[in-house]
Amino acid sequence: MMEHTVTPLFPIPLYSASLGSLENNIRNSVNSLEFERMPSEDGHYTVDKFVLDREEFAPLKQKIQNHIEQFLYEVLNCDPEVNFEIQNSWINKHNENDSAGLHNHSNSLISGVYYIDVDDVSGAISFLKDKGHINLWPDVVNIQTDYDSKKLNIFNTQWWNYIPKKNDLIMFPSMLYHQVEENKSKKIRYSLAFNVFPRGNLGGTLNKLKI
Amino acid sequence: MKHEIIPLFSIPLYKAELSPLDPLMFQKLTNNEWEKTEGFVTHVETAERHLLDRPEYKGLKKAIQQHVDYFAYEVLGCQRDLTWEITTSWVNRSKNGDYHANHWHSNSLISGVFYIYTNPSSGAIVFHKDKNHKNLWGDTLRIDWDKETDYNSEAVGILPKTNELLMFPSILAHSVLSNTSNESRYSLAFNVFPRGVFGESGNSELTL
Q: Give the model's confidence band at A148: pLDDT under 50 very low, under 70 low, under 90 confident, else very high.
A: low
Tell which of A3, A9, A176 to mutate to test the B interface (max B CBs under 10 Å).
Answer: A9
Q: Give the model's confidence band at A147: pLDDT under 50 very low, under 70 low, under 90 confident, else very high.
A: low
Cβ-defined contact of B6 to A14 (cutoff 8 Å): yes
pLDDT over threshold 80, residue B87: yes
A149 interaction partners in chain B (CB closer than 8 Å):
none
Average pLDDT score over chain A: 93
Q: Give the model's confidence band at B176: pLDDT under 50 very low, under 70 low, under 90 confident, else very high.
A: very high
Average pLDDT score over chain B: 93
Average pLDDT (B21-44) is 86
**Please, are residues A91 and A190 in contact by the beta-carbon 8 Å criterion?**
yes
Round to whole Å and give the CA distance between A45 and A190: 9
**Residue percentage of chain A with pLDDT more than 70:** 98
The more confident residue out of A115 and A26 is A115
B156 DSSP β-pair partners: B127
pLDDT over threshold 90, residue A183: yes
Residue A172's closest chain B neighbor by CA? Answer: B136
How many C-beta neighbours within 10 Å does residue B165 have?
Answer: 22
What's the pLDDT score for residue A161?
Answer: 95
What's the pLDDT score for residue A141?
Answer: 83
Strands A178-180 and A125-128 turn out to be antiparallel
Average pLDDT (B143-169) is 93
How big is the A-B interface in CB pairs under 8 Å?
216
**Residue percentage of chain B with pLDDT more than 70:** 99
What's the pLDDT score for residue A146?
Answer: 59
Chain A: closest CA distance from residue B139 (Å): 11
Helices (H) and strands (E) in chain B, counts: 2, 14
Over residues B35-62, the pLDDT tens digits come to: 887 766 788 889 889 999 999 999 999 9
Round to whole Å and give the CA distance between B124 and B159: 4
pLDDT over threshold 90, residue A145: no
Q: Which of A27-36, B8-17, B88-97, B163-172 has the lowest mean pLDDT?
A: A27-36
What's the pLDDT score for residue A107?
Answer: 94
Residue B106's closest chain A neighbor by CA? Answer: A137
Cβ-defined contact of B1 to A11 (cutoff 8 Å): no
pLDDT over threshold 80, residue A157: yes
Residue A13's closest chain B neighbor by CA? Answer: B7
Integer angstrom CA distances of residue A208 from A150, A198, A205, B108: 47, 14, 5, 42
B142 interaction partners in chain A (CB closer than 8 Å):
202-203, 207
Over residues A84-120, the pLDDT tens digits come to: 999 999 999 999 999 999 999 999 999 999 999 999 9
pLDDT over threshold 80, residue A182: yes
Cβ-defined contact of B16 to A7 (cutoff 8 Å): no
pLDDT over threshold 90, residue A20: no
**Please, are residues B125 and B92 in contact by the beta-carbon 8 Å criterion?**
no
Average pLDDT (B72-90) is 94
Average pLDDT (B133-161) is 89
What's the pLDDT score for residue B20?
Answer: 96
Q: Is A85 left (phi over 0), alpha (psi -120 to 50) or beta?
A: beta
B79 interaction partners in chain A (CB closer than 8 Å):
143-145, 147
B171 interaction partners in chain A (CB closer than 8 Å):
134, 137-138
The CATH number of domain A15-201, selected from 3.30.460.10, 2.60.120.620, 3.40.50.11540, 3.90.1640.30: 2.60.120.620
Least CB-CB distance to B12: which of A8, A71, A75? A8
pTM of the model: 0.92
